[in-house]
A and B are shown apart, each in its own frame.
Chain A
Amino acid sequence: MSRLEAKKPSLCKSEPLTSERVRTTLSALKGIVASCYGPSGRLKQLHNGLGGSVCTTSQSSTLLANLSVSHPILKILTTSVQNHVSCFSDCGLFAAILCCNLIENVQRLGLTPATAIKLNKHLLSLCTSYLKSEICGCRIPVDFSSTQILLCLVRSVLTSKPACMLTRKEVDHISTLILRAFLLTIPENAGDHIILGNSIIVPLKGQRVVDSTVLPGILIEMPEVRLMKILPVKKSDSLKVALFRVSLSGDLSDTGEGSVVVNFGVSLENAVLDQLLNLGRQLVSDHVNLVLCQKVIHPSLKQFLGEHRVLAIDRVGAALMEPLSKVTGTHPIGSLGSVSPSSYGSVKDLCTEKFGFKWFFHLIPNEATVCSLLLCNRNGTAWDELKLTCQTALHVLQLTIKEPCVLLGGGCTETHLAAYIRHKTFNDPESILKDCGCTPTELQLIAEAFCSALESLTGSLEHDGGEILTDMKYGHFWSVQADSPSVGNWPDLLTRCGCGLYNSREELSWSFLKTARHPFAPLPCLPHEAVGSANNLTLDCFTAKLSGLQVAVETANLILDLSYVIEDKN
């Protein structure tokens, strides 16, 4: 019996952000996420004290999913970042760090939340409209006639996840594989409406990364013993395929709510088996070469099919059904009776292949947008991390097709944006003031908080104690090693900016990011020849970064707007 308990009263706290506890937990979270950021980010080892596997990661999705945060404010922050990641895969850490920075900076100012929120929102809209505009100096249009930019994009995603443990050579190998897998999912003759296929990631742990490969079609894993039993099928230019959704094991399907009474001597097993064998005969007479079943095939039927040199593969699983029907062009069959000839499909060829210690059936399609990415890595956790990274990269490529441009990575977009906002609020504050109804001082304070949040975000890219600079022409990000001799001879100490677009030999002047600078207008409009010549750029996904920026500012605003926290203690 369930007892009706009187509810405990909730705990109500006012002005949650001013409490010391919230501040320390917020900065602790910031410390965790900021130290993971970037190619040289530190790895986090997550392990449950009660057992379970240990996982090494630096990705926001794994990190935040496993982190149990207690305070509701942090919960808002982490869930909003997780939701962003589940939509866009990339830029999770970016959003988390920016959000923490913004809250910290604005909180320190002590302005009323109303003005802070209004101005933050306005600055965000300045950023988004600049990033979307043609004159944006940190955006590169994607040229789909060459793979260079796409390859740079994938490589940037891979290098920013150090827990994959890839060497330089391996990064090159995996990024070409990912790009190939992505290109295989694009239909050849697409109309005005492109439907991308999918690439299935097949795990192969314990192998060298360079053994990874991409194959068109579908790989079905198969124990070696069973493979040996299968006789070679007769060769023709294409194979006829039947794909069953319904179980062929001879079990009686749903008989309804009443009861079925079977008289003595009546053998339902025989009746069902007869039915199955009839079906087998029909399949044989229809010249089907390959029978695939989502569920189990009855051994007798299997043997019957085998005798007639029809290959039968069962227990395919629900996940593979959709790609299989796409690859073969079949309608999944749901009937044990007559099978309509229109439900059969075909594959070009079928072969068995061995990768590592595993055997696979390889269905080679005539023409389809499904491919298999056989992914290898040395150990389990590194493989998990690599798989997530590959999914991120594939997703980022899909997003790039929708919005054909990329942003400069390596911190250059952030410093450039900060320089732009500084310049804009310094030189043209009237329009903002008119909209928001605040004083110029308030605007300057919030703009400074916003820009320094962006800049200290790029600061998190540097984990080895180096110094961070920005140039006064493009507003890009430059870092110098920790033990460099002295300040002064910058062109010698610096080599390339964060994204790799500019080198230090140009006539530039630098300044430390932490020190105050006079606002300057960063040079808009990238020179096209510069983009063309540079072949090793660090790039970020435009859509993901833009959304990350929006989510970070919106979440920060949300948290700044809280006046009470009511905790239900039941």
Chain B
Amino acid sequence: MAAEGAVKAALQVAQALETIVSGCVGPEGRQVLCTKPTGEVLLSRDGGRLLAALHLEHPLARVMVACISSHLRKTGDGAKTFIIFLCHLLRGLEAVADKEKDSLISKNIQTHGRYWKTCCRWKFISQALLTFQTQILDCVVDRYLRRHFLSIFSSPTKERSLCRSSFKLLLEAYFGGRVGRNNHSFISQLMCDYFFKCMACESGLEEAFELVDDCFGELSVGVTGLPVSDSRILAGLVLHRDFSVYCPAGGDIRTALVTETIQPLFTTSGSEFILNSEAQFQTSQLWIMERTKAIMKSLQNHNVKLLLSSVKQPDLVIYYAELNGVSVVECLSSEEISLIQRITGLSPLVLPQASSQYEISSTALVKFYKPLVLRSKRYVHLGLISTCSFIPHCIVLCGPVQGLVEQHEAALHGAFKMLRQLFKDLDLSYLTQTSDQNYVPSPLIYKNRESNQLADTVNGSIQRPHQDPVEKNEGELAKTHTYLKVYSNSVVPSVELETHIFRSTPKVTPAGTQQTDEALRCLSANKTRIMDDHDLFIDGDPTTESTAENTRIEASYENVSITKMGGKGSMLPVRCKSLEMGTSQSYCFSSISAGCVLPVGGHFEILLHYYLLNYVKKCQQSEAIMVGTIIANALLGIPKILYKSKRGNQSFPQVYVRALHTLQTNQPMVGSQTGLESVSGKYQLLTSVLQCLAKIVTIDLVISIKRQPQEVYDQESEEEL
């Protein structure tokens, strides 16, 4: 299959997916019913879920789905927009390719040659896309789009406080795309209440978000058979179990956690218990009984009124618990146990093997505990006192069918993911040319393909530690700041590079496959460049610190590990190269600050479209012009769908023309729809799509292998081969 074929096939696939997905986009979108092989039915408007339910067979479709799911893991939003945007980009590329094919045919080149030519061409386009994404996009976003940003914080100073009304608008817009039309306002109100109830202080938001994200399944209770409007928020935790023993208690009550049976057993694993006489058996049973009694007694003495157990306790324990007025909840799942531990900081009881002292080491205060009956099923309702920044609350989600309850649960979980992203800064970095009187900038930088590639590498390698959200997710643990300062000297242009890395722990999680991919690509790109270049100065030895006289490197010890991971040998040679060329470049580092939002209804897309076109007009490079135009036009695909059902004044052409007019005359944009959406989410989506596209475009051949998937093979079948 020729390269163009790949794009064509990809377009066909994307179009098929687009028709499904476009029906669910936006506030007017409709639901999709998915059945599982088990016979359950699921309602969904979530793009990621739909794509997973389709079980696509086409290889290109699977590439797309893989890209989307990796994007979703990071941001939790934007699967549908991904498909639509990708589809429009592919359409744009195909249109360009058609035009060029005509010109190629007229030149009458041999078929084989033409094949290779087109392959190379696609490769260039792919690289141009990546270049565009890493340099120009950031630049446009930072320089032009920034002035339109709104914030959900009422004061953008250090002590930021959340603006409740804009927060509500943000959630409403989010759920408008996720939940059935009937329920979205109700669910977004529920989410809003839940957020403000759980997150009392804004300092520990990150910790609380992490906890909610990890344990959302335990923080929500689904109840079928009741109308959706019966959903509510309960203070405290709801455990999906019933009391084995319930003794009501009030006042200063405490709880303890056990992960083993309290009653000592005759033997432990690997040991033997030898019975010599009947009396011995009876005394040992008596001892067991006395000991159980004593432990329960000491629990009572420590005011422990509630025993949470991850295992089933024997009848004896239950009996003594009841006698001592201790309530027991058994068979808690490990997730529930870990959630309780995270909230209260409680550690499980360690039962001493031999001593007669029963020190109850760790107990936690509880406000209340009581049975809760939801639809004739009994739960334990627990009022924990939190020691972290998360104040425990549970959501009871009601709905007529399980599928709807699950949809709401998934949407709420996704909303937390989205908020978690929104409350973080997103770094941008790009390359700009400084205007220096004493120095004539080298035309190589933007005209030469190689230097483009180089710039790509620069950004690729430097940006990596910055942008990788996997690492960022690790939170403060591994927060890395890399500052690069480029000074230009009037006499001899020198580059001074300072790398400061602040890290609390040197541990870096290499979890992101994306990251490794990127690093590899950087590396390979760099290698080709080195090979092409006949410059001996670039030796590619990252450990030599004397590569350039004017270059001073300040790298901390940890830096080495970063360089190793993010692309060894890419940073230094690049630095040398830029020094040698003497280009007066400056790296701009800025960020989309936490809480940046734009109104919904295609605002982001129209704005970016406008500024990209403006940028492209000033650009001299043919590749950048082409790519920029394609991206700018593809961006409009999303507002087109959003305004599809609107008529008259609200139809898309009208809205578009009005928006362009206001932008040209520098008036503030007025949105027709209420609701806000996260800028960083949109931006990340855009970069993910461009990366996915770059991946697809470079494929020149799809080889189908008629074999069972690799995992199937055990040793026997390998021998057969």
Question: Quick check: B275 and A263 within 8 Å, CB to CB?
Answer: yes
Picked from B30, B39, B273, the residue with its CB within 8 Å of the CB of A561 is B30
Which of B41, B53, B314, B320 gathers most chain A CB within 10 Å?
Answer: B41
Question: Quick check: B274 and A337 within 8 Å, CB to CB?
Answer: no
Stretch at the interface among B71-79, B302-310, B335-343, B399-407: B399-407
The distance in angstroms between the C-alpha atoms of A199 and B412, with both chains bound, is 40
- The answer to whether A266 has its CB under 8 Å from any CB of chain B is yes
- A569 — which chain B residues lie within 8 A by C-beta? 37
- The answer to whether B534 has its CB under 8 Å from any CB of chain A is no
- The answer to whether A514 has its CB under 8 Å from any CB of chain B is no
Question: Quick check: A87 and B32 within 8 Å, CB to CB?
Answer: no
Interface positions, chain A 55-107, Cβ under 8 Å from B, are 72-73, 75-76, 79-80, 83-88
The residue on A at minimum CB distance from B180 is A561
Which of B30, B224, B271, B401 gathers most chain A CB within 10 Å?
Answer: B401
Question: Quick check: A334 and B31 within 8 Å, CB to CB?
Answer: no
Question: Quick check: A334 and B315 within 8 Å, CB to CB?
Answer: yes
Question: Quick check: B275 and A257 within 8 Å, CB to CB?
Answer: no
- The answer to whether A564 has its CB under 8 Å from any CB of chain B is yes
Picked from A85, A335, A567, A568, the residue with its CB within 8 Å of the CB of B319 is A335
Given contacts A253-B314, A259-B272, A554-B228, are A570 and B37 in contact (CB under 8 A)? yes
Cβ distance A257 to chain B, nearest Cβ, rounded Å? 3
Stretch at the interface among A9-17, A37-45, A202-210: A9-17
Question: Quick check: A568 and B36 within 8 Å, CB to CB?
Answer: yes
The residue on B at minimum CB distance from A278 is B282
Given contacts A4-B709, A263-B276, A335-B320, are A9 and B30 in contact (CB under 8 A)? no
The distance in angstroms between the C-alpha atoms of A51 and B168, with both chains bound, is 58
The residue on B at minimum CB distance from A73 is B33
Cβ distance A109 to chain B, nearest Cβ, rounded Å? 17
- B55 — which chain A residues lie within 8 A by C-beta? 7-10, 568, 570
Question: Quick check: B180 and A558 within 8 Å, CB to CB?
Answer: yes
Question: Quick check: B400 and A275 within 8 Å, CB to CB?
Answer: no
Question: Quick check: A72 and B267 within 8 Å, CB to CB?
Answer: no
- The answer to whether B323 has its CB under 8 Å from any CB of chain A is yes
Question: Quick check: A557 and B32 within 8 Å, CB to CB?
Answer: no
Interface positions, chain A 518-570, Cβ under 8 Å from B, are 547, 550-551, 554-555, 557-558, 561-570
- A340 — which chain B residues lie within 8 A by C-beta? 323
- B274 — which chain A residues lie within 8 A by C-beta? 261, 263
Given contacts A79-B401, A268-B275, A561-B30, are A258 and B35 in contact (CB under 8 A)? no
Interface positions, chain B 605-650, Cβ under 8 Å from A, are 645
- The answer to whether A381 has its CB under 8 Å from any CB of chain B is no
Question: Quick check: B182 and A84 within 8 Å, CB to CB?
Answer: no
Question: Quick check: B226 and A266 within 8 Å, CB to CB?
Answer: no
Picked from B39, B53, B375, the residue with its CB within 8 Å of the CB of A87 is B375
Interface positions, chain B 369-428, Cβ under 8 Å from A, are 375-376, 400-404
Question: Quick check: B266 and A334 within 8 Å, CB to CB?
Answer: no
Interface positions, chain B 1-24, Cβ under 8 Å from A, are 20, 23-24
The distance in angstroms between the C-alpha atoms of A541 and B314, with both chains bound, is 44
Picked from A88, A246, A256, A558, the residue with its CB within 8 Å of the CB of B265 is A256
The residue on B at minimum CB distance from A89 is B376
Picked from B20, B28, B225, B266, the residue with its CB within 8 Å of the CB of A86 is B225
- A1 — which chain B residues lie within 8 A by C-beta? 714
Picked from B24, B56, B265, B276, the residue with its CB within 8 Å of the CB of A255 is B265
Question: Quick check: A565 and B33 within 8 Å, CB to CB?
Answer: yes
Picked from B50, B226, B268, B323, the residue with its CB within 8 Å of the CB of A257 is B268
Cβ distance A16 to chain B, nearest Cβ, rounded Å? 7
- A566 — which chain B residues lie within 8 A by C-beta? 32-35, 50, 53-54
- A263 — which chain B residues lie within 8 A by C-beta? 274-277
- The answer to whether B123 has its CB under 8 Å from any CB of chain A is no
CB 8 Å contact bits of A251-283 with B (1 = contact, 0 = none)? 001111111111100111011001100000000
User: How many chain B residues have a CB neighbour from A under 8 Å?
Assistant: 71
The distance in angstroms between the C-alpha atoms of A84 and B270, with both chains bound, is 52
CB 8 Å contact bits of A114-141 with B (1 = contact, 0 = none)? 1001100100000000000000000000
- A337 — which chain B residues lie within 8 A by C-beta? 285-286, 289
- B224 — which chain A residues lie within 8 A by C-beta? 79, 83
Question: Quick check: B226 and A113 within 8 Å, CB to CB?
Answer: no
The distance in angstroms between the C-alpha atoms of A558 and B180, with both chains bound, is 8
The main secondary structure of chain A at its interface with chain B is mixed
The distance in angstroms between the C-alpha atoms of A412 and B434, with both chains bound, is 83
Interface positions, chain B 254-276, Cβ under 8 Å from A, are 265-276
Cβ distance A89 to chain B, nearest Cβ, rounded Å? 10
- The answer to whether B217 has its CB under 8 Å from any CB of chain A is no
- A270 — which chain B residues lie within 8 A by C-beta? 278
The residue on B at minimum CB distance from A112 is B645
- The answer to whether B83 has its CB under 8 Å from any CB of chain A is no
- The answer to whether B125 has its CB under 8 Å from any CB of chain A is no
CB 8 Å contact bits of A488-532 with B (1 = contact, 0 = none)? 000000000000000000000000000000000000000000000
Question: Quick check: A563 and B24 within 8 Å, CB to CB?
Answer: yes
- B708 — which chain A residues lie within 8 A by C-beta? 3-4, 6
Given contacts A9-B56, A121-B182, are A87 and B268 in contact (CB under 8 A)? no
Question: Quick check: B41 and A79 within 8 Å, CB to CB?
Answer: yes
- The answer to whether A316 has its CB under 8 Å from any CB of chain B is no
Question: Quick check: B35 and A76 within 8 Å, CB to CB?
Answer: no
The distance in angstroms between the C-alpha atoms of A218 and B378, with both chains bound, is 24
- The answer to whether A201 has its CB under 8 Å from any CB of chain B is no
- The answer to whether B316 has its CB under 8 Å from any CB of chain A is yes
- A308 — which chain B residues lie within 8 A by C-beta? none
- B227 — which chain A residues lie within 8 A by C-beta? 547, 550-551, 554
- B276 — which chain A residues lie within 8 A by C-beta? 263, 266
Given contacts A72-B33, A86-B375, are A9 and B54 in contact (CB under 8 A)? yes
Question: Quick check: B41 and A4 within 8 Å, CB to CB?
Answer: no
Picked from A10, A550, A561, the residue with its CB within 8 Å of the CB of B54 is A10
- The answer to whether A329 has its CB under 8 Å from any CB of chain B is no
Cβ distance A182 to chain B, nearest Cβ, rounded Å? 17
- B24 — which chain A residues lie within 8 A by C-beta? 563
Given contacts A258-B271, A260-B266, A562-B30, are A4 and B376 in contact (CB under 8 A)? no
- The answer to whether A388 has its CB under 8 Å from any CB of chain B is no
- B403 — which chain A residues lie within 8 A by C-beta? 76
26 contacts between A and B (CB under 8 A): A4-B709, A4-B712, A10-B55, A75-B39, A76-B43, A85-B225, A87-B375, A87-B376, A114-B28, A118-B181, A255-B267, A255-B273, A257-B268, A258-B270, A260-B273, A261-B275, A268-B281, A271-B281, A333-B319, A335-B316, A336-B285, A337-B286, A554-B182, A564-B33, A565-B34, A566-B35
Known pairs A85-B225, A337-B285, A563-B32 / 4 extra A-B pairs, C-beta < 8 Å: A259-B273, A561-B182, A565-B34, A566-B33
Residues of A within 8 A of B (CB): 1, 3-4, 6-10, 12, 14, 16, 72-73, 75-76, 79-80, 83-88, 112-114, 117-118, 121, 245-246, 253-263, 266-268, 270-271, 274-275, 331-337, 340, 342-343, 547, 550-551, 554-555, 557-558, 561-570
Please list the 5 inter-chain residue pairs (A to B) with the smallest Cβ-Cβ separation, ordered nearest first.
Answer: A258-B267, A334-B319, A256-B265, A83-B225, A334-B315
